[in-house]
Structure formats: structure tokens, C-alpha cells
Amino acid sequence: MCADFNTGRRAGPRAPRGLAPGACRGLFRSPSRGLSLVELMVGLVVALLVSLTATSGAMLFTATQRQGVGTGGTTVSAGTALAALRDDVSAAGLGFFGDSQFLCRRLNLSVGTSVLLDGVDFTPVSITTEAAGDRIDVLYATDVSSGANVLLQAASTTASAPLRSLLPVGVGQAVLLAPATPGDPCVVRTVTTNTAAGVDTPQVIEYANVTTARYNRAAFTTNVTYPDRGRVTLLGDLRWSRYRLVGTDLTLERPLGGDAVVLARNVIAFRAEYGLADAGTTALASWQAAASGFATLTPANLPRVRALRIGMVTRSTQREKPNAAGDCEASTAMPTLFGAAVTADVADWQCYRYRSTMLVVPLRNLVLGMVP
């Protein structure tokens, strides 16, 4: 007989003959044992604690990641804006110098039928102090050969100019007409006809008042005609870039046409200074804000300018959490720019991080254009 090994009682008929001793042991098993209520509750508590720990870690990681992305994005925006500034400012003045002198102490400039500059004092780079911060204006030609100019063969008219030597200009390109000696306003014109030189005839460019001519359609107070040996410079096209703060957005504007674009956000300070040489010298000696004798840059003090120093302060987009006492510790003091204090644009400024960035740009066209 096989016995129930749990009770010791017989479990049924005698085992068949030939069954090996102990064979009955595999015929009966203990009933399965489940979790007790206590064990179940302990498991649930442990799982809950693990879930809470994982959630807190994920939230901390997400906040740290968001803070890093915000700070990194602000830094990248500032770097991109300064790169655009560097490229524009370094080209300032291209096309406005010739024979070691500044050609255009005054300028006539129009786009379509709108007059932008009507014989006013002109410099190809300038800093203007505004309520929100400094404004930087730079003008330059886009053609790399704009450093050279040719003389007029004879006096020009208001619609054409004969040239003494070859000017590689094409229809639709802009040129600058300048007097033989600085004084009368220069004027920017669009070439509408280019007649090549013959054996006995000079090259003649025409700048008719037609709708396709961008710079020819407006009339100025003084519509200058230029005498023999006046100068004509190939510009290709003219670019005017204006950098300024609008609120806390560093904005690039195009006064000659085109929509304004935002280069960087959360900019709380934007300032610029002229790098000056001492009178009668050429080496950069000091930095000067747009104030006092340089509140307005003029053709008289332009030869002293050697470079621009540009700085800005940006604020992080992500507010950091205060400490256990409720105090913010992200920043303990506001940064300075060129030795001057920067004013925060938020009341809880200690909860944000700030970054000061500075750029020095040599004005090579100004320096080389006026070398004796």
C-alpha cells in the first residue's frame, strides 16, 4: 500500500507488484502555499517607496536638464549674435575710402522714392545711445573690389558719368559718385546702362530714374553733378545693418529694406565703445563711449577710430529654486559691463544666472582707408 507521507495513513490500494521501494513518494505532493497578507502589504510598501524615489529622481533630472538647456541656449544665442556683429562691423566703410582719404563727409542716399540721407554728415559706422542700450549702425559695400575707384573723364550729369578708366560694373549694380575733394555730398546710384569704352570714347555709365533702379528715384535737396576727376566706386550693393535692443531682444534691422530679426533674447544690457588712437598717432590707446566729444561721430573725429568694443549681458531663461530658507542663490551680485553697473529686468534677479560677453572688432577699412 502507498502511504500519504503527510499523514502517514494509507492512501489507496497496494502498489502494483514490482514497484520499487519509495516509488509512492512521487505520487503525492504538498498543497501550494501563497503569500500571506503581511507579505503582500510589505511588498506593496516597498514598491511604492521605489516608485516615489524614481519619480523624484526623474523630476530632479528633468529640472536639471531644463536648466542646462536654458543656460546653454542663452549662451549659443549670444555667441551667434556676436558672430553676426563681428562680420558686419569688420566690413564697415568698404567702398567709402580712396586715395588714403574718406570720400564722403556727407551722403545722399535713397531707396525707391524714400530719402534716407539728404546731404547730412555721414560716417560708415556709428554708436548712438538710446534708452534701452546702445545702437550700432554700419554701412558697407558688398563687392570685394570696392576699395578701388576710377576718375571721371569729364563732368557728370544727373543721369550719366564718363569714366577715365575701366570700371568692371554691370547693369543693376550700385556705384558711389564722390567729389574730387571731400565737401559736396556723395550719392549712391544704380547703373541702368553700361556703355563700354571705344578707341576714342570713354566708358559711360547711366543711372536713369526708372522703377527697376533701386537708388535712382528720389530727389535730394542738393542734386550734385561731379566735375572732372571726381571719383566713381563700384559698390555692388550697399548694406546697412542696425543693431539695437527692443525690450530684451537684440534685434538686427535693415534700413535699406528687409524685415527685422531677433538675434538673441533675454539681453539685459548692450553697449559699445570706440577704440581710439591719440590725436596724431595710429595705435589704439583708449576706449570711448558715445558721449562727450564722441556723442556723435563726425568726419572730423573719424580718423581716430580704430576698433569697436561690443559687450552684452544675457539672463538665463530658467528661474532656479530657492533654498530651504526661501532665498535664491543663483546670483549674489549683478554683473558689470565696461565697468558700469547693469540693471536687472526682473525683481527676483538673484534667482537667475547671468553671462557677460565682450567682443573687440578692428575696423580695417577705416584704418587702411586713411593710411597716409
pLDDT of residue 59: 54
What distance separates the 2 farthest-apart alpha carbons in the chain?
A: 139
- The cell numbers describing 53, all together, are 524615489
Name the 3-class secondary structure at 369.
helix
pLDDT over threshold 90, residue 228: no
pLDDT of residue 75: 62
pLDDT in tens, 48-77: 777 767 665 655 555 454 545 444 555 677
pLDDT of residue 229: 84
pLDDT over threshold 50, residue 87: yes
Asked if residue 177 lies in contact with residue 169, where contact means CB atoms within 8 angstroms, the answer is no
**Left (φ > 0), alpha (ψ -120 to 50) or beta: where does 302 sit?**
alpha
Q: If you average pLDDT over every residue of the chain, what do you get?
A: 85
In which residue are the cell numbers 543663483 written? 330
Find the mean pLDDT for residues 242-255: 95
Report the run of H or E that residue 356 belongs to, with start and end: strand 354-362
Asked if residue 330 lies in contact with residue 354, where contact means CB atoms within 8 angstroms, the answer is no
Q: Which residue has the higher pLDDT, 107 or 30?
A: 107
pLDDT of residue 210: 94
Instruction: Please tell me the pTM assigned to this model.
Output: 0.79
pLDDT over threshold 50, residue 190: yes
Q: What percentage of the chain reaches a pLDDT higher than 70?
A: 83
Q: Alpha carbon of 34 to those of 28, 37, 39, 40: distances in Å?
A: 19, 10, 10, 10
Q: HSE, CB side, 13 Å, CA atoms: give it for residue 121.
A: 8
Q: HSE, CB side, 13 Å, CA atoms: give it for residue 274.
A: 27
pLDDT of residue 21: 55
Report the run of H or E that residue 114 belongs to, with start and end: strand 114-121
Find the mean pLDDT for residues 178-190: 90
pLDDT of residue 120: 92
Domain boundaries defined on the chain = 71-97+123-141+239-372, 143-236
Q: How confident is the model at residue 318 (pLDDT cuts 50, 70, 90)?
A: confident
Find the mean pLDDT for residues 329-357: 92
What is the distance of C-alpha 72 from the center of its chain?
A: 15
DSSP for residue 16 = P
pLDDT of residue 23: 53
* Low-confidence winner among 222-226, 247-251, 328-332 (lowest mean pLDDT): 222-226
pLDDT over threshold 60, residue 171: yes
Find the mean pLDDT for residues 223-232: 88
pLDDT over threshold 60, residue 20: no
Asked if residue 134 lies in contact with residue 290, where contact means CB atoms within 8 angstroms, the answer is yes
DSSP for residue 3 = B
Residue 277 CA to residue 269 CA, distance in Å, equals 26
- The cell numbers describing 273, all together, are 565703445
Q: What percentage of the chain reaches a pLDDT higher than 90?
A: 59
pLDDT in tens, 279-315: 888 899 999 999 999 999 998 899 999 999 999 999 9
* Of 336, 314, 332, 311, residue with least CA distance to 323: 332
pLDDT of residue 12: 53
Residue 22 CA to residue 45 CA, distance in Å, equals 45
Find the mean pLDDT for residues 164-178: 94
* Low-confidence winner among 19-23, 217-221, 294-298 (lowest mean pLDDT): 19-23
Name the 3-class secondary structure at 362.
strand
Residue 337 CA to residue 40 CA, distance in Å, equals 64
pLDDT in tens, 122-144: 999 999 999 999 999 999 999 87
pLDDT of residue 70: 46
Residue 366 CA to residue 372 CA, distance in Å, equals 12
pLDDT over threshold 60, residue 15: no
Q: HSE, CB side, 13 Å, CA atoms: give it for residue 209.
A: 8
Q: Which residue has the higher pLDDT, 328 or 370?
A: 328
- The cell numbers describing 318, all together, are 530658467
Name the 3-class secondary structure at 366.
helix
Report the run of H or E that residue 340 belongs to, with start and end: strand 340-341
What is 48-82 written as a DSSP string?
A: HHHHHHHHHHHHHHHHHHHHHHHHHHHHHHHHHHH
DSSP for residue 348 = T
pLDDT of residue 5: 47
